[in-house]
Amino acid sequence: MFRPPPIIALLLLCVALLRVAFVINTERYPYIDDMAGDIRPYRERAAAIAAGDVIGTEVFFDAPLYPYFLALSGGRAGTSGMTTKIAQALIDTATAFLVYRITLTIFGAGPALIALLLYGLYGFVLFYCGILLKPVIAIFALVAAFSLLLGHRWKSAGFLLGLGALFRGNFVFLAPLFLLYAAKGRGGNRRAGIALLAAFALPIFSVTIRNAVVGGDFVLLTYHAGPTFYHGNHPGADGTYAPIVPGRQNAGYEKSDAVRLAEEKRGRPLKPSEINRFWFGEAFRFIGADPIRFARLSARRAFLFWSGREIPDTFDFYLYRNLFPLLNVAIVPFGILAPLALLGWFIPSPLRGRALLLPGAVLSLFLSLVFLFVFGRYRLPAVPFLVPPAARFLFFAGRRASRSSGRATALLIVLLALAAMAVANGFSPVEDRATGLYNLGIRMERLGRLSEAEALYRDAVEESPRFAGAWNNLGALLLRAGAREEAEDAFRKALAADGGHHLATRNLAVILRGRREYDEARRLLEASLRRERSAATLAEIGVVDELSGRKEEAIRVYDDAVRLDSTEATACANLGRLLYEKGDVRRAIPLLRRGAARLAGEALPAVYLALAHLAAGDTVSAMEVVDRRLAGGPGTGECAGDSSLLLLKARLLALRGDGDGARDALRAARGGKMPSGELLRRITGGENLDDWGLRK
């Protein structure tokens, strides 16, 4: 068993402490939203796994394995995720040790020590130890597989590479490199290559078989591959991520938009494999129609891959570095590491033999992204393979500088390194802070820090005046604060930037219907509906129709919304209420039940659900609804003291003959804002309150 020297053990301890300290900071200062972006579907799937749904019921859309890691390590939705983050910190420390071992094996002890320092102080990988996303665990699987490959443990190397592909699908691009080394490299042969290939295929085909069993469809890993290829190759692509529908760059929309648009264009329901092929086909049509544009995009992606800046997506590393000082301790950036690594490929001599596996791994990952799109976290798996040659170069430069006869050469080498760094950093893409500010604003809003959220949204639109999402969120905050005119201006600016922004459309329609400008509100909503048939937009049209006196039309529209999405809360609650008012209690009850469950912070759906049960002669269920909502709980808001619920409880108790209880409930109801008009008549059954036998 290999035992590292004491200095290496001490450095590894420092690496672990730095990572654990940062992870603890993410809990103490919860600026990072652990349900944002891609995190949400992984954590929600982990919660389902922990609840017993181990196999699942659908073909995988997202990377299959990370939710299982979250479920096992306590990172599912509804938990803090701290245990998973600590696990990631320790796993990344293990990766640092593997990088040291790989460098030691190929280049010797001196470069290996430098490699441990470089990886341990690489800021971007430290950042992802504190985020519930897959880079850290995926990198560990890949680096462990590479280490086993160097040790000629062919089956284990292939199996771990296959597991890594279940975290990041583009790891399959490294399979030819592994196979070539196993079959032709030092110590390898054809039998070793076959063994590695079989072991690599085992976890992948296990997922393929699982997809076929649960989904009745042949999908190798996920049907995200086609949409992902399209994200990087369509008329609106820019080298980074560009969503299928502009303005909907959110993990919650990726799957639904990919499925909905493919099925709309094909005119029928599609299997996952067909959806996958559809988006590959759309991307290849774009490439065939404009190969010059594709070539430019590929050149742009190549530039982004090697540039010094970490391209942000959900989380902007540079913004969070200002919030977490520990990130500034990790001082090694890509803009220094990559140029040093490229120099290390050739200085002091060109790499040869098994050392060529290092640039081979980097170039395999490069090719896997140059035809897709580039984010900082997507190129992060290349870092462990850039570290050893960078350490080799630094060790050589240091040895030259320590000799009086070699100082001129050392100076030349340093100047060459500085020039390479200047190129990598001087031509980095323009800093885009808007998305990071916007996402942090969402986090502050969820934490109830509304003034900070507003300031962040204002900063985002100042950075990027055509950022529709930030304008919409700013408008929503202003509307909550009662600044209706300023909110309307923000919503109109969102629509000027992105006429298809459905949230801004609905928010502006709310303001318009509040002014009784029903025709203008409906016109806006119908235009949005033509771009995207959304149940939420249909529900808002139903509200406009109902307020303008067109109740039958509202019923039809609400019904369309429920048919499109049976969980659309507003449509369920309002359709159920209107059906109850028409006397169709049988249809009303299940709709009101769904609406009340999803609108837990509102009393009215629960009131009408209880009234519907009462109309059906089921006073027991009616009382259960009222008591459950009055008892309070997560998300129930002010319902615990709502006068409508208390008044209805008084009536139900009076019907039961519990005069004292009814009197107490009536007294509590009169202490708040009493309902009036038609709602009061329905709650009381048209009776005088004092006729309930409650006269003082």
- Which tokens in the block code for residue 311? 């391209």
Whether 606 and 645 have beta carbons less than 8 Å apart is answered as: yes
**53-77: average pLDDT:** 94
Q: Letter for the amino acid at 116?
A: L
* 122, β-bridge pairs: 332
Query: From CA 682, how far away is CA 94, in angstroms rounded?
Result: 66
Scanning the structure block, which residue is given the tokens 């990952």? 365
SS3 content of the chain, % helix, strand, coil (to 5): 75, 0, 25
Whether 372 and 386 have beta carbons less than 8 Å apart is answered as: no
Query: From CA 63, how far away is CA 167, in angstroms rounded?
Result: 5
Q: Is 332 helix (H, G, I), strand (E, B) or coil?
A: strand
Neighbours of 686 (CB within 10 A): 8
Global pTM value: 0.84
Residue 245 has what DSSP assignment? Answer: S
Query: From CA 688, how far away is CA 691, in angstroms rounded?
Result: 5
pLDDT bucket at 429, cuts 50 / 70 / 90: low
Distances (CA, A) of 125 to 41, 316, 376, 497, 571: 22, 13, 10, 35, 45
Neighbours of 553 (CB within 10 A): 15
pLDDT of residue 426: 60
Neighbours of 153 (CB within 10 A): 18
On the question of pLDDT at 425 being above 80, the answer is no
**58-67: average pLDDT:** 94
Residues of 600-617 as b/e, b for ≥16 C-beta within 10 angstroms?
bebbbbbbbbbbbbbbee
Find, among 18, 377, 2, the residue nearest to 10 by Cα: 18
* 332, β-bridge pairs: 122
Q: What values do phi and psi take at 482, rounded to 5? A: 90, 5
pLDDT per position as a tens digit, 173-227:
999 999 999 998 888 899 999 999 999 999 999 999 999 999 999 999 999 999 9
Query: From CA 595, how far away is CA 261, in angstroms rounded?
Result: 27
pLDDT bucket at 694, cuts 50 / 70 / 90: very low
Whether 425 and 413 have beta carbons less than 8 Å apart is answered as: no
Q: What is the mean pLDDT of the chain?
A: 89
pLDDT of residue 278: 96
Burial of 29 (0-12, 13-18, 19+ CB in 10 A): exposed
Neighbours of 640 (CB within 10 A): 14
Neighbours of 78 (CB within 10 A): 11
pLDDT of residue 164: 97
pLDDT of residue 436: 87
On the question of pLDDT at 157 being above 60, the answer is yes
Find, among 55, 64, 67, the residue nearest to 166 by Cα: 64
Whether 476 and 507 have beta carbons less than 8 Å apart is answered as: yes
Helix axes 434-446, 450-463, angle to 10 degrees: 170
**564-593: average pLDDT:** 92
> Structural domain boundaries of the chain?
6-220+310-413, 616-696
Q: Is 221 helix (H, G, I), strand (E, B) or coil?
A: coil
pLDDT bucket at 248, cuts 50 / 70 / 90: low
pLDDT per position as a tens digit, 260-310:
889 888 989 999 999 999 999 999 999 999 999 999 999 999 989 998 889
- Which tokens in the block code for residue 336? 């220094």
- Which tokens in the block code for residue 152? 């000629």
Residues of 387-412 as b/e, b for ≥16 C-beta within 10 angstroms?
bbbbbbbbbbbeebeeeeeeeeebee
Question: Going by C-beta distance under 8 Å and a sequence separation of 6 or more, which residues neighbour residue 433?
Answer: 316, 318, 319, 459, 460, 463
Query: From CA 308, how far away is CA 335, in angstroms rounded?
Result: 4
Longest pairwise C-alpha distance within the chain:
109
- Which tokens in the block code for residue 634? 């997560």
**316-344: average pLDDT:** 91
Find, among 285, 396, 309, 312, the residue nearest to 347 by Cα: 396
Query: From CA 296, how far away is CA 235, in angstroms rounded?
Result: 12
How many residues are given for the chain?
696
Alpha helices in 515-639 (DSSP H): 518-531, 535-547, 551-564, 569-581, 585-598, 604-615, 619-630
Most confident of the following: 153-167, 589-603, 609-623: 153-167
**521-530: average pLDDT:** 88
* Least confident stretch, 425-429, 455-459, 501-505: 425-429
Distances (CA, A) of 213 to 45, 50, 532, 589: 19, 21, 33, 36
Q: Letter for the amino acid at 399?
A: R
pLDDT of residue 695: 44
User: Regarding predicted confidence, which is higher, 499 or 584?
Assistant: 584
